[in-house]
């Protein structure tokens, strides 16, 4: 499978800095791009960034989507709206949404389903906290998180992207070792394989302090098909080195 590198800008950016960053990334892409590249941008900048990446092969992703179809949900963005703009992917269940916005496994599953129903590929984020890892619950937690989505989306499982993001590695500079990450990815792959014969088609991304220095060893693991990159995706040179490692 081709690798997939998605930058998650989180709540960062402005018209000016987006234009500078995307222009540097697009200009620095490998002449022959053999991996998928995407950027998950704040909803308010989706249209701007779509115009900026046009013709470059870089896909635009949203960072969240509502589980509701439409109506009185102030502040939310529906999957139809993302479809209307031609948005390719949306993150669902990022740990920051789970932690600060109370998103449960059931809500995350409903969001994944809402996105799939409109042809927007959900990038389902799962991952354990430090306390859960230290209590030996990593496998149990990520399996529970993924199971909720698998049960909800039925035969569409093979259309998902899954991102393993250990919460203790996000924005901390502490990366999971390639072996730690691979061990969890293998668990996720096996879980998908029990649910669909097309588990090999589901990209499993690693996220959590991925950077130019650790991208190569992480991306060379058997079940690591790409990266979900936070901080390093805000610096064109770093993001480009990660893309080069995946290419």
Q: Which is nearer to ligand 13P, 104 or 172 (CB)?
A: 172
165 touches ligand 13P (CB under 6 A): yes
For ligand 13P, the binding residue among 41, 146, 188, 210 (CB under 6 A) is 210
Binder of ligand 13P out of 116, 192, 228, 242 (CB under 6 A):
228
CA–CA dist 202, 27 (Å, integer): 29
The residue number with the shortest CB distance to ligand 13P is 230
Binding-residue pattern over the window 93 to 112 for ligand 13P, x denoting contact by CB under 6 A = -x------------------
Least CB distance from residue 52 to ligand 13P, whole Å? 21
Taking CB under 6 A as the criterion, the residue among 13, 93, 208, 226 binding ligand 13P is 208
- How many secondary structure helices (H) and strands (E) does the chain include? 10, 8
DSSP assignment letter at 120: P
Q: How far is the CB of 197 from ligand 13P (least distance, A)?
A: 29
**Binding of ligand 13P by 5 (CB under 6 A):** no
Nearer to ligand 13P, 60 or 195 (CB): 60
Instruction: Select from 68-76, 77-85, 152-160, 164-172 the region that touches ligand 13P (CB under 6 A).
Output: 164-172
- Contacts for 181-186: CB closer than 8 Å, 24+ residues apart: 181/206, 181/218, 181/221, 181/224, 182/221, 182/222, 182/223, 182/224, 184/138, 184/139, 184/142, 185/221, 185/222, 185/223, 185/224, 186/222, 186/223
207, 214, 219, 223: which one binds ligand 13P (CB under 6 A): 207
Q: CB within 8 A of 101, min separation 6: which ones?
A: none
CA dihedral 146, 148, 151, 155 (to 10 degrees): -50
Active site residues: 94, 165
The single residue among 148, 149, 170, 215 that binds ligand 13P, judged by CB under 6 A, is 170
Residue that the structure tokens 């950077």 belong to: 211
Residues with Cβ within 8 Å of 94's Cβ and at least 6 positions away in sequence, in order, are 8, 63, 64, 125, 165
Helix axes 46-53, 15-28, angle to 10 degrees: 30
- Pick one of 138, 145, 209, 221: the residue that binds ligand 13P (CB under 6 A): 209
Site mask for ligand 13P (CB under 6 A), range 26-55, x = bound: ------------------------------
Q: Compute, in degrees rounded to 10, the torsion defined by CA atoms 213, 247, 204, 59.
A: 110
Chain residues that interact with ligand 13P, rule: CB under 6 A: 8, 94, 165, 170-171, 207-210, 228-232
């Amino acid at each position: 499978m081709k690798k997939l590198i998605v930058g998650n800008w989180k709540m960062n950016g402005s018209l000016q800095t987006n234009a500078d960053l995307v222009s540097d990334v697009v200009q620095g892409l490998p002449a022959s791009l053999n991996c998928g590249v995407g950027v998950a941008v704040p909803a308010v900048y989706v249209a701007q960034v779509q115009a900026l990446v046009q013709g470059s092969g870089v896909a635009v992703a949203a960072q969240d989507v509502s589980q509701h179809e439409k109506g009185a949900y102030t502040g939310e963005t529906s999957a139809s709206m993302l479809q209307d703009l031609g948005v390719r992917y949306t993150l669902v269940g990022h740990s920051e949404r789970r932690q600060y916005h109370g998103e449960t496994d059931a809500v995350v599953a409903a969001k994944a389903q809402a996105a799939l129903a409109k042809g927007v590929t959900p990038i389902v984020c799962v991952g354990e906290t430090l306390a859960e890892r230290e209590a030996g619950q990593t496998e149990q937690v990520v399996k529970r998180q993924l199971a909720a989505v698998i049960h909800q989306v039925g035969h569409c499982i093979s259309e998902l992207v899954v991102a393993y993001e250990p919460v203790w590695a996000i924005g901390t500079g502490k990366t999971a070792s390639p072996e730690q990450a691979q061990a969890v990815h293998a668990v996720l792959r096996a879980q998908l394989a029990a649910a669909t014969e097309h588990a090999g088609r589901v990209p499993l991304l690693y996220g959590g302090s991925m950077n130019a220095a650790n991208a190569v060893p992480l991306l060379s693991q058997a079940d690591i098909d790409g990266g979900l990159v936070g901080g390093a995706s805000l610096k064109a040179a770093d993001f480009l080195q990660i893309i080069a490692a995946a290419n």
